[in-house]
Amino acid sequence: MFSSIFTSLYEIVIGGNPDYPEYRDGIFASVGLLTLIIAVAICLFFYVALGRWKGVWFTRFHWAITIVICAAVGFGLAFSLAQSAIGVSDGYLIRFALINAAFSALYFIVFSFLFKNFSIFSKRTPI
């Protein structure tokens, strides 16, 4: 189920790659699922761990830093997993990693609205 969702999502945005069917066969599904799990973990860490710890990590600037960190992790994850499976670095791999970074940031933003009520100091972050 997740395989077809993430495969469709990535192929809609960046298109298919007929030269390397490995993307469709497994890379899209594994990277997509790991990205979703990592975005949830980073979001929970921001709101539950840091948001309850002290009242110093609650501003929009801190939230933006966390989004950038989440996007960087998403980029690195997609790049490293796809490059290890394919063995080459090309333009499609870079586009895939950039789109995965954008998805990671988007997931973090969506989960922020769900998890911010679990925080003490970050209840009003981002809005």
Residue with the larger pLDDT of the pair 11 and 68? 68
Average pLDDT score over residue span 97-124: 86
Q: Provide the pLDDT for residue 57.
A: 66
Task: Identify the pLDDT of residue 46.
Answer: 84
Q: 126 vs 13, 29, 65, 109, 113, CA distance in Å?
A: 27, 30, 12, 9, 8
| Among the ranges given (51-55, 59-63, 94-98), the one the predictor scored with the smallest mean pLDDT | 51-55
Residues sharing a CB contact under 8 Å with residue 13, sequence separation 6 or more, in sequence order: 99
pLDDT for 55 equals 65
pLDDT at 54: 67
18 has a pLDDT exceeding 80: yes
CB 44 within 8 Å of CB 107: no
Whether 122 shows a pLDDT value over 90: the answer reads: no
pLDDT value at 127 more than 80: no
Q: Express each pLDDT in 82-96 by its tens digit.
A: 999 998 888 899 999
Say what the pLDDT of residue 59 is.
73
